[in-house]
Amino acid sequence: MRTLDELINQDDPAIPFVRQWLAESSRPVELLPPSERNGEVLVNLQITTRSPMGAIAYETGGILVDHGWLRILGSGHPKLPRDIAQWNAGRSSGHLLVADDVAGGFFSVNGGSLGDDPGSVYYWAPDTLKWESLGLGYTDFLCWVLSDRLSAFYEGLRWNNWQADLQRVDGGQCFSFYPPLWTAEGTAESSSRKPIGVADQYALNTEGWSQTE
C-alpha cells in the first residue's frame, strides 16, 4: 500500500487537464469540491494524482455532467453522496465502477472480469443488462462524456422533458422504470418511472441480469 504522500503527484498532476476539459465541454458540467475524506479515498484507490482518475478522486467530490444526468465519482459530496472507493467496496469484482446515470446505467473500468480488454470502460446498459465495451480508456471516456457524442449514445434512453425530471432526483438516486427497460414492454418514454436509490437500482439490475442469463 502506497501512502498518501506517495500518491500525490506534485510534479505532473492531472487536475489542470481535467479542469481544461471541463472548461472546453459543450455540455453543462459541475465540478464538486472534494470531501474531507479525499485522502482516505485516494489511499484506498491506490492511484496517483498524475492520472485523471486519481486527480478526480482526490481533487473533486465528483463531476455532474449534463445537468446531473451522468455522475462521475470522486471523493463524495452532498450533491453526490458516494465516493469511488466506498461505492466499489463489496459491489464490484474484477472491475471498478467510476460513473453512472439517472437511467440506471453504470460505467466501469474493466479489470479483467468484463472482457479481454483490461483498462477499457464498459457500460452496463439498463435496456439490455449487458456490459458493453465503449472501446475507451478512462481518460478518453472523460473527454467523450463531455462531448456532443453523448446525445447519440443516450438516444432511446432519454424521454421527453427528461431535463425537468432531473429536478426530482439527487446524486444518490436514479430512475427506476416499470416495466423495466430490459423487458420487451419497457421503454424510457412509455414506462412509468420513480426515483430510487442508486444502490437499490444496482441491486435490481443484478437481479434482472440473473433472470436474463
Instruction: Give residue-wise pLDDT tens across range 86-134.
Output: 999 999 999 999 999 999 999 999 999 999 999 999 999 999 999 999 9
- Residue 135 within a domain: yes
- Residue 164 within a domain: no
Q: Measured between alpha carbons, how far is 24 from 18 in angstroms, rounded to an integer?
A: 10
Residue 212 has pLDDT above 70, yes or no: no
Residue 213 has pLDDT above 70, yes or no: no
Residue 209 has pLDDT above 90, yes or no: no
- Residue 194 within a domain: no
Residue with cell 465495451: 133
CATH number of the domain at 79, please. Answer: 3.40.1580.10
- Residue 170 within a domain: no
- Residue 168 within a domain: no
CB within 8 Å of 40: residues ≥ 6 apart? 85
Q: What is the pLDDT of residues 142-186, one digit of tens each?
A: 999 999 999 999 999 999 999 999 999 999 999 999 999 999 999
- Residue 204 within a domain: no
On whether the CB atoms of residues 103 and 175 are closer than 8 A, the answer is: yes
**Number of Cβ within a 10 Å radius of residue 111:** 13
Predicted model pTM: 0.96
Considering Cα of 202, then 207, then 211, then 213, what sign does the dihedral take? positive
Strand-pair category, 192-197 with 131-133 = unpaired
Q: How confident is the model at residue 49 (pLDDT cuts 50, 70, 90)?
A: very high
Question: What's the structural domain count of the chain?
Answer: 1
Q: Measured between alpha carbons, how far is 65 from 43 in angstroms, rounded to an integer?
A: 26
Q: Measured between alpha carbons, how far is 144 from 140 in angstroms, rounded to an integer?
A: 6
For residue 112, what are the domain limits?
4-158
- Residue 213 within a domain: no
- Residue 150 within a domain: yes
